[in-house]
């Protein structure tokens, strides 16, 4: 699924998600729910910094690989979920339903990772049987006598 | 007798409800970082942990950009 389409679905499913971005693991912004492109870029940069800081904390604590995180503040919460290719980062108001948000973000990532329908159908079309040729001298009836 | 029981149940219910509300309110006003790992474990870092101090600036930058 297209990342922008997946974010549209996310916003429809999860009313608690106020803003969300999809960031590739190289740090480039792939899609966002924001109209302000500069703000979306700032969130994408912040999401990459957030993940890097969390990854550093994980390493210093000797924990296994990081899969998702939440930062809760009185002003709102930030969620991030990452797979092998990209991360989806979402902002919610205070006191969100944590399990539900993570579930919706993982669904969003899974939808993007799914192979697009066009790619699956990217096989040569089967030949279509040609209509039988009209015998020479005969005309197609056109209904006008 | 029945009135005494009713009063006791009411007090107990109100007490539990109050505790839940106070905890929920306190939780809303706390800053914390919850890290979830690939093996299914989770670590909640309190706001005074050194790791939290390193993570919070990025989260605040995201929240500021989102408003």
Partner-chain contact B37 A66, CB within 8 Å = yes
Q: Which residues of B touch A90 (CB under 8 A)?
A: none
What's the pTM value of the predicted model, to 2 decimals?
0.74
Bridge partner residues of B33 (DSSP): A71, B45
Report the pLDDT value the prediction gives residue B28, as an integer from 0 to 100: 62
Q: Please provide the average confidence, as pLDDT, over all residues in chain A.
A: 85
Give the mutation candidate from A22, A50, A94 for the B interface (greatest B CB count, under 10 A): A50
Average pLDDT over residues B34-58: 92
Among candidates A85, A103, A75, A99, which has minimal Cα distance to A18? A75
Among candidates B40, B16, B55, which has minimal Cα distance to A59? B55
Give the mutation candidate from B59, B61, B63 for the A interface (greatest A CB count, under 10 A): B59
> 3-class SS at A9?
helix
Report the pLDDT value the prediction gives residue A6, as an integer from 0 to 100: 93
CA A75 vs. chain centroid, Å, equals 26
Write the CA distances from A1 to A39, A93, B31, integer angstroms: 24, 27, 35
Partner-chain contact A39 B65, CB within 8 Å = yes
Measure CB to CB from residue A63 to each of B24, B37, B58 and give the nearest one: B37
Average pLDDT over residues B9-18: 86
Report the pLDDT value the prediction gives residue B46, as an integer from 0 to 100: 86
Listed range (A36-45, A52-61, A75-84, A120-129) with the worst mean pLDDT: A120-129
Instruction: Express each pLDDT in B30-45 by its tens digit.
Output: 789 999 999 999 999 9
- Are B35 and A54 spatial neighbours (Cβ–Cβ below 8 Å)? yes
Average pLDDT over residues A103-129: 72
Instruction: Express each pLDDT in A30-42 by its tens digit.
Output: 999 999 999 999 9
* Residue A143 reports pLDDT greater than 80: no
Instruction: Express each pLDDT in A78-97 by its tens digit.
Output: 999 999 999 999 999 988 99
More confident residue, A74 or B19: A74
Report the pLDDT value the prediction gives residue A117, as an integer from 0 to 100: 52
Percent of chain B's residues with pLDDT above 70: 91
What span, in angstroms and rounded, lies between the C-alpha atoms of B55 and A70? 11
Residue listed under structure tokens 């390193």: B54
pLDDT confidence bin for B19, thresholds 50/70/90:
confident
* Residue B7 reports pLDDT greater than 60: yes
* Residue A123 reports pLDDT greater than 70: no
């Amino acid at each position: 699924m297209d990342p922008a389409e997946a974010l549209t679905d996310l916003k429809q499913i999860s009313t608690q998600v106020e803003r969300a971005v999809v960031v590739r693991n190289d740090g480039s912004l792939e899609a966002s729910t924001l109209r302000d492109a500069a703000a979306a870029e700032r969130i994408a940069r912040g999401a990459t910094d957030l993940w890097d800081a969390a990854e550093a904390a994980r390493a210093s604590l000797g924990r296994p690989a990081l899969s998702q995180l939440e930062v809760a503040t009185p002003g709102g919460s930030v969620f991030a979920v990452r797979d092998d290719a990209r991360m989806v980062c979402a902002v919610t108001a205070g006191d969100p339903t944590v399990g539900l948000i993570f579930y919706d973000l993982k669904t969003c990532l899974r939808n993007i990772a799914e192979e697009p329908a066009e790619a699956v159908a990217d096989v040569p079309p089967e030949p279509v049987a040609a209509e039988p040729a009209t015998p020479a001298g005969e005309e197609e009836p056109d209904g006008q006598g | 007798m029945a009135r005494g029981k009713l009063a006791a149940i009411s007090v107990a219910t109100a007490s539990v409800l109050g505790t839940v509300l106070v905890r929920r309110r306190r939780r809303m006003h706390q800053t914390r970082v919850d890290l979830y790992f690939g093996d299914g474990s989770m670590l909640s870092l309190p706001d005074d942990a050194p790791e939290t101090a390193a993570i919070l600036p990025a989260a605040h930058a995201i929240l500021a950009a989102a408003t």
